[in-house]
């Protein structure tokens, strides 16, 4: 797949100016507030498309309401791609909200500049030490926390963590960068910032706190005590579908609005952010854009992980194997739509809805969102980093049902879909690259078995994904093995159809 950043080397239109404070899209214009007066109150680590279509939009509402303290400095931990996209555009980018045939565009000015940690970690640390910065938010994906999935502790033997501990003034990981900034704030007599995780992880605030404290304790126990006493790590739940921007999207935007925008993001109308109300010092009034503050994020996060993300992952693997490119295409098949209903039935039985969340209505809305063809949300994008996502999206639900003596046929087929995905070859014989930090290991384990049962048993031995309980539970291994064997013999569509028919007969 061609990355939009590649177009920087080949301008779409030679005579078309690039988006900036002085070159704005026709018919849209720019932010209504004076960007020259905006102060930086936030730093965001992992400034990809999701942040730009989600948290930055909430901060934009604060700026638009006249509170100019909450500008954002964004940071990429590794790649300079987003910096190359946004810095030449004065940090500006457009957000397209698409729903069916309708599309609405706006220019977002909340991000002032993008730093690249790998190029200049000192500059990023200094940005987080600024006395006006009160909040550091993160979307670094599951693998960015460097936590042991079995214990939840920081992986102290991880080469990246070992390297950061050896050079604490030039770290590369999120835990190392946060601890370096917090240490500098302590040395200057400043209070800690609030570190707010926005990743799809249960208890993401607790996990971030664990990573930071473990790193700090290995470096300086007194610093860890200071962070634990005075810092804050609230949990949050984020929800918005943000597909990858394509070169065609960039071309169409230029044709429609007369400027090039290499930072363009596209998304759906729906957006949700539920945040634990536990901050150090000041915070933005994100509720102006609809954020919900609560004392307990956990039931919201669990409902989203198990109903939305769990279904998304199962559809991505099974639908992708069946030859579908996007999630709306998968749901256009009535059999797959019924499969989602059954999978969510299994998941819903493990949930307790928080006040204000009607699970039946939530599921109806999810299906409508999945069917939004304007998003073109690719199965391949959702399938990325599956080894990091599987535990909270599908495996935790299975464990709960197993403790209650309940079956988990649909969830097992979703897990088997992930296993079959490791073959790097769909049912049509088309190859693809498995993008996952454990890809080499999972592929080797998959290839050890001769049939579905053997392949499943081999992969289930990977405790980094399945944990010690499921790895050695014959009920789980056999159920997933049977599902994988069906996938190998019949293919994804026939396997889903057989399961749906079998459930209908019960």
What does the pLDDT look like over 473-488, one tens digit per residue? Answer: 999 999 999 999 999 9
Residues in Cβ contact with 506 at an 8 Å cutoff, skipping those fewer than 6 apart: none
Q: Is the domain of 273 the same as that of 320?
A: no
User: Please, which pLDDT band fits residue 101 given cuts at 50, 70 and 90?
Assistant: confident
Tens-place pLDDT, residues 282-323:
999 999 999 999 999 999 999 999 999 999 999 999 999 999
Tens-place pLDDT, residues 446-476:
999 999 999 999 999 999 999 999 999 999 9
User: Please, which pLDDT band fits residue 33 given cuts at 50, 70 and 90?
Assistant: very high
Residues in Cβ contact with 207 at an 8 Å cutoff, skipping those fewer than 6 apart: 145, 147, 152, 197, 201
Domain boundary (275, 294, 313) is at 294
CATH number, domain containing residue 422: 1.10.1040.10
- CA-to-CA separations, 115 to 66, 111, 311, in angstroms, rounded: 26, 11, 35
Residues in Cβ contact with 292 at an 8 Å cutoff, skipping those fewer than 6 apart: 272, 273, 274, 275, 356
% of the chain surpassing 70 pLDDT: 97
**What DSSP character marks residue 280?**
S
Q: Are strands 236-239 and 272-276 parallel, antiparallel or unpaired?
A: antiparallel
Report d(CA 415, CA 398) in Å as an integer: 10
Q: Is the domain of 282 the same as that of 223?
A: yes
CATH number, domain containing residue 68: 3.40.50.720
pLDDT higher than threshold 80 for residue 8: no
Find the mean pLDDT for residues 364-384. Answer: 95
The average confidence (pLDDT) of the chain is 95
Tens-place pLDDT, residues 170-184:
999 999 999 999 999
% of the chain surpassing 90 pLDDT: 92
266 and 109 in contact (C-beta within 8 Å)? no
Q: How many CA atoms lie within 13 A of 270 on its CB side?
A: 14
Report d(CA 20, CA 259) in Å as an integer: 9
Q: Which residues of 430-464 are buried (b: 16+ CB within 10 A; e: fewer)?
A: eeeebebebbebbeebbeebeebbebbbbbbeeeb
Q: Is the domain of 204 the same as that of 259?
A: yes
Report d(CA 312, CA 319) in Å as an integer: 10
Domain boundary (294, 320, 346) is at 294
Q: Is the domain of 64 the same as that of 157?
A: yes
pLDDT of residue 100: 86
Question: Residue 97: helix, strand or coil by DSSP?
Answer: strand
Closest CA to 283 of 136, 174, 140, 177: 136
Q: Are strands 40-45 and 135-138 parallel, antiparallel or unpaired?
A: parallel
pLDDT of residue 14: 57
pLDDT of residue 420: 97
Tens-place pLDDT, residues 225-282:
999 999 999 999 999 999 999 999 999 999 999 999 999 999 999 999 999 999 999 9
Q: Is the domain of 288 the same as that of 329?
A: no
Report d(CA 10, CA 6) in Å as an integer: 7
pLDDT higher than threshold 80 for residue 9: no
Q: Is the domain of 83 the same as that of 125?
A: yes
Q: Range of 441's domain?
A: 298-505
pLDDT of residue 233: 98
pLDDT of residue 15: 75
pLDDT of residue 489: 96
Q: Is the domain of 438 the same as that of 324?
A: yes
Q: Is the domain of 328 the same as that of 475?
A: yes
Find the mean pLDDT for residues 127-139. Answer: 98
Domain boundary (269, 294, 319) is at 294
pLDDT of residue 428: 84
pLDDT higher than threshold 80 for residue 121: yes
pLDDT of residue 1: 31
Q: How many structural domains comprise the chain?
A: 2
């Amino acid at each position: 797949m061609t990355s939009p950043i590649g177009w920087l080397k080949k301008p779409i239109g030679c005579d078309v100016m690039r988006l900036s404070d002085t070159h704005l899209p026709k018919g849209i214009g720019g932010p209504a507030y004076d960007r020259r007066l905006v102060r930086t109150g936030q730093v965001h680590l992992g400034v990809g498309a999701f942040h730009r279509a989600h948290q930055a939009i909430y901060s934009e509402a604060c700026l638009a309401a006249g509170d100019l303290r909450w500008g954002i400095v964004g940071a990429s931990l590794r790649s300079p791609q987003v910096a190359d996209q946004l810095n030449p555009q004065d940090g500006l980018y457009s957000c397209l909200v698409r729903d069916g045939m309708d599309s609405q565009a706006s220019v977002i000015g909340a991000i002032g500049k993008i730093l690249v940690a790998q190029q200049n970690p000192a500059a990023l640390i200094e940005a987080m030490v600024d006395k006006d910065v009160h909040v550091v938010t993160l979307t670094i994906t599951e693998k960015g926390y460097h936590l042991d999935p079995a214990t939840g502790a920081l992986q102290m033997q991880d080469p990246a963590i070992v390297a950061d501990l050896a050079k604490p003034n030039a770290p590369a990981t999120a835990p190392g960068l946060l601890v370096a900034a917090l240490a500098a704030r302590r040395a200057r007599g400043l209070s800690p910032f609030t570190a707010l995780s926005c990743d799809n992880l249960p208890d993401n605030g607790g996990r971030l706190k664990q990573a930071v404290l473990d790193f700090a304790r290995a470096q300086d126990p007194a610093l860890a005590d200071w962070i634990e006493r005075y810092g804050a790590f609230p949990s949050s739940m984020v929800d918005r579908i943000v597909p990858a921007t394509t070169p065609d999207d960039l071309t169409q935007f230029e044709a429609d609005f007369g400027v090039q925008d290499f930072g363009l993001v596209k998304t759906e109308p729906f957006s949700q952010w539920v945040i634990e109300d536990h901050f150090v010092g000041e915070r933005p009034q994100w509720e102006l854009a609809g954020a919900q503050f609560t004392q307990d994020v956990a039931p919201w996060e669990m409902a989203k992980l198990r109903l939305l993300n769990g279904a998304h992952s199962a559809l991505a693997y099974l639908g992708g194997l069946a030859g579908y490119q996007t999630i709306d295409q998968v749901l256009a098949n009535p059999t797959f739509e019924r499969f989602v209903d059954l999978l969510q039935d299994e998941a819903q039985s493990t949930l307790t809805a928080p006040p204000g969340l009607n699970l039946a209505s939530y599921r109806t809305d999810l299906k409508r969102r999945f069917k939004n063809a304007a998003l073109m949300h690719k199965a391949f994008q959702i399938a990325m980093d599956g080894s990091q996502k599987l535990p909270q999206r599908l495996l935790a639900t299975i464990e709960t049902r197993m403790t209650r003596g309940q079956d988990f046929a649909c969830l097992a087929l979703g897990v088997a879909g992930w296993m079959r995905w490791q073959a790097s070859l769909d049912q049509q014989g088309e190859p693809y690259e498995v993008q996952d930090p454990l890809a080499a290991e999972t592929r080797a384990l998959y290839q050890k078995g001769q049939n579905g049962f053997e392949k499943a048993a081999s992969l289930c031995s990977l405790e980094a994904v399945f944990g010690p309980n499921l790895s050695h539970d014959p009920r789980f291994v056999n159920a997933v093995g049977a599902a994988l064997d069906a996938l190998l013999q019949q293919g994804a569509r026939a396997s889903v159809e057989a399961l749906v028919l079998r459930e209908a007969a019960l």
